[in-house]
Structure 1
Amino acid sequence: MLTFEPDETLAHRLDPRSKLAVQIGFAATALAHPTPRALIVLSVLTGLLLAAASVSLRRTLVAYRFALIVLVLAPILSGLSLGTPWFDRPAAVTSGLASYRVLLILLVSAAYVRSTPVRASRAAIQRTIPGKPGQVLGTGIALVFRFLPVLQSDLRTIREAMAARLGTERGAIDRASTIGTLGITRAFNRADRLSLALQARCFAWNPTLPPLEFSRVDYPALVLAIGLALSAFY
């Protein structure tokens, strides 16, 4: 599960606004340049960003295992055809490059999640986007970061309970429908409890957020973000 972990890495010392800028620039470049040569360069950069946040590649891939299944199946399904030649290799290659770009973006986002507290992310968004839109977006992202791990834990608990009751002996469709039904029920229950908790704590749209300040280590990150953003146009 990908969550914030306190550490003393370079990524942890960066201002969250710098990290968001790098992410946006990286995503723009990855989407604008689908060529193998560009993806090789972006792969090296991804490795450096993961190292800067001390992110374990194995743990990250395990956390993204369901997304990886989709990314692996996409090129295969894109290449299949109903007539000769039965498998369109160029289409599969194009889809494979697109899947790889998405994987790189997910890995870079993992470095951000591990190195950035939720409150710092909210502060960065609200101070970058002024007014009510920034408050709504910051609050939404903060709730998502806190809510998703809880939902994942609920799904894992449901699966473990089914396995303990020999649920693995049942058919795949039956297991999926049971997990889906119970998962949705728990999600709605969690949402109701979250709403009640926010009311009980006098939820504020504009709370006191942690101070943010650029330091020396942020300037190279901002230069990298600007370079990545400009490279998307060339």
Structure 2
Amino acid sequence: MLTYEPDATLAHRLDPRTKLAVQIGFAATALAHTTPRSLAVLSAVTAIVLFSAHVSIRRTLVDYRFALLILALAPLIAGVTLGAPWFDTADAIASGLASYRVLLILLVSAAYVRSTPVRDSRAAIQRTIPGKPGQLLGIGVALVFRFLPVLQADLRTIREAMAARLGTKRSAVDRASTIGILGLTRAFDRADRLSLALQARCFAWNPTLPPLAFSRLDYPVLVLAVALAFSAFV
């Protein structure tokens, strides 16, 4: 499961604002450049980012398995035509390149998640975007980072319980509907408990956030982020 893991890597020592800038710049240039040569360069940048955060490729791909399934099906669906030649290779290749760009963005985001505490992410957002909009966005990001792993664990528990009761013998539609209904029930229960917990802890709109400061390591990475952003317009 993709969560923050304490470590002493280069990515862990960077300011979260620097890492957010790299993500934005990388996503912008990945969506702007669609040629195989550009994707090869972006793949090299992705490899460097993953290495800087000590991200396991195998583990990350396992965590992204459902997204990978959708990305893999997209080129096949895009290539299908209603008449001759029944499969358009050009459309399939274009869709495949788009899916690969999305995969690279997901891998870079995995490095951010592994190397950045939730409180630091909230602090970076609220200090970059002033006022209530920054507070709302910071709270939303913090809740997603904390809430999503819990929901994933609930779904995994439901699937394991079904397998233990020979649920795998049931039809795919029956299994999917059962998991969906129980998953939604758990999600609403979790949301109610979260609301009570926030009230019990006197939830504050503007809590004391961790201090942030740029170091000498951040400046060359910020230059890289700016270069990536500008490359989207080249």
Quote the residue 1:201 is aligned against: 201
- Note the alpha carbon deviations across 1:116-174, whole angstroms, 9 max, x for none: 00000000000000000000000000000000000000000000000000000000000
Residue 74 of structure 1, CA deviation: 0.1
Q: Equivalents in 2 of 1:228, 1:176: separation in Å? A: 41
The corresponding residue for 1:62 is 62
- Once residues 107 and 220 of structure 2 are traced to their aligned partners in structure 1, the CA distance between those partners, rounded to angstroms, is 20
Q: Secondary structure at the match of 1:203?
A: coil
2:84 pairs with 1:84: yes
The corresponding residue for 1:135 is: 135
Q: Which residue pairs with 2:25 in the alignment? A: 25
SS at 1:41's partner residue?
helix
Counterpart of 2:226 in structure 1: which amino acid?
A: I
Tell me the distance in 2 between the aligned counterparts of 1:6 and 1:200: 28
Work out the CA distance in 2 between the residues paired with 1:17 and 1:187: 31
In the other structure, the counterpart of 2:166 is 166
**TM superposition score normalised by structure 1:** 1.00
Q: What is the 5 A alignment of 1:88-167?
A: 88-167=88-167
Number of aligned pairs? 234
User: Which amino acid is 1:9 matched to?
Assistant: T
Q: Distance in 1 between matches of 2:36 and 2:205?
A: 45
RMSD: 0.3
In the superposition, the TM-score normalised over structure 2's length comes to 1.00
Match of 2:46 in 1: 46
Whole-angstrom CA distance in 2 between matches of 1:144 and 1:22: 21
Q: Distance in 2 between matches of 1:220 and 1:149?
A: 33
Q: CA deviation at 1:73?
A: 0.2
Residue of structure 2 in register with 1:15 after alignment = 15
Whole-angstrom distance in 2 between the partners of 1:83 and 1:10: 53
Distance 1:5 1:194 in 2: 23
Give, as a single letter, the amino acid of the residue that structure 2 aligns with 1:156.
Answer: R
Q: Structure 1: which amino acid aligns with 2:142?
A: A
Shift of residue 198, structure 1, vs aligned partner: 0.3
Distance in 2 between the 1:85 and 1:147 partners?
A: 47
* Structure 2 counterpart of 1:46, one-letter code: T
- TM-superposed CA distance for 1:82, in Å, is 1.2
Task: Measure the CA separation in 1 of the matches of 2:167 and 2:93.
Answer: 39
Matched residues in 1 for 2:78 and 2:157: separation? Answer: 35
Structure 1 unaligned residues grouped into runs of 5+: none
In the alignment, the residues of structure 2 paired with residue 232 and residue 188 of structure 1 have an alpha-carbon distance, to the nearest angstrom, of 41
How far off its partner does 1:211 sit?
Answer: 0.2
Identity of aligned residues (%): 79
Residue in structure 1 matched with residue 181 of structure 2 by the alignment? 181
Q: CA deviation at 1:212?
A: 0.1
Query: C-alpha separation between the residues in 2 aligned to 1:53 and 1:85?
Result: 46
Equivalent residue of 2:203, what SS? coil
For 1:163 and 1:28, locate their aligned partners in 2 and report how far apart those are by CA, in whole Å: 42
Match in the other structure for 2:223: 223
